[in-house]
A and B are shown apart, each in its own frame.
Chain A
């Protein structure tokens, strides 16, 4: 799949979303799986844009790369913002998720939705680049 390179601004979320939706349709994912992957990629992209670049006062690009094999669709986000491993974030547990909305801290749900939405998520940092990797198994190919 041709990769997509966009400036890391909130305006780019639309384009990243469309890229992922096209990839899920090429991969033949069902609508639930497609939505889950799009949500996961969108959550991480939003974090990269707002925390990885904007808050740090930097600007840069995000590269989105979809790779389709017989058994899986893999989407990789690459950026040169501040190094951040989403998997180091503490995830909300049952206690948190059953709290009334009045008593909850705001936020903390993005990474949780990432992990719920994909079959596998991993993170790497090398040569000055964050790599967030999302994997969806293809139906009937496993």
Chain B
């Protein structure tokens, strides 16, 4: 798993590449939480995320809470069908805004 985060104006944009499992979820979590120091509007590009386990759900849950506490917003971009399935059967999907492209994601953030 690799990831890149950047700050663009009021938005924090993170792109993740690879698998989010019990090993990598803590890395993703600490990088995203650190990025939230720079702003409370977060776009997570997950087009290249091929796998997400319950450790990834736990990371999303903590992220969601941090952002809610900062009265910010999070948009997930390009979430695969399999990951959407996992998020819907666990009741996560309704709490996140999903977008197909970064462009659509950015307009959902503003």
CB contact between B90 and one of A14, A17, A102, A112 (< 8 Å): that residue: A112
B91 A97 Cβ-Cβ under 8 A: yes
Majority SS of interface residues in chain A? helix
Closest to A40 in B: B53
**Which residues of B are interface residues toward A (Cβ below 8 A)?**
19, 21-23, 51, 53-55, 57-58, 61-62, 64-65, 68, 82, 85-86, 89-92, 95
Is A83 part of the binding interface, using a Cβ–Cβ cutoff of 8 Å?
no
A107 B58 Cβ-Cβ under 8 A: yes
Most chain A C-beta atoms within 10 Å of own C-beta, residue among B53, B82, B90: B53
CB contact between A109 and one of B19, B65, B90 (< 8 Å): that residue: B90
B22 A49 Cβ-Cβ under 8 A: yes
B33 to chain A, nearest CB (A): 15
A39 to chain B, nearest CB (A): 6
**Which residues of A are interface residues toward B (Cβ below 8 A)?**
10-11, 13-14, 17, 31-32, 35, 38-39, 42-43, 46, 49-50, 92, 97-102, 104, 106-107, 109-110, 112-113, 116
CB contact between A98 and one of B55, B86, B91 (< 8 Å): that residue: B91
Closest to A31 in B: B82
* Complex interface: chain A residues within 8 A of B64 (CB): 101-102
A132 to chain B, nearest CB (A): 15
CB contact between B61 and one of A10, A32, A104, A113 (< 8 Å): that residue: A104
B65 A102 Cβ-Cβ under 8 A: yes
Majority SS of interface residues in chain B? helix
Q: With contacts A13-B22, A32-B82, A113-B90 known, is A38 near B51, CB below 8 A? A: yes
A106 B51 Cβ-Cβ under 8 A: no
B57 A109 Cβ-Cβ under 8 A: yes
CB contact between A106 and one of B23, B58, B68, B90 (< 8 Å): that residue: B58
7 other contacts beyond A42-B53, A46-B21, A101-B61, with CB at 8 A cut-off?
A17-B19, A35-B51, A42-B21, A46-B55, A97-B90, A98-B91, A116-B89
B61 A13 Cβ-Cβ under 8 A: no
Q: With contacts A46-B22, A102-B68, A116-B89 known, is A35 near B82, CB below 8 A? A: yes
* Complex interface: chain B residues within 8 A of A116 (CB): 89
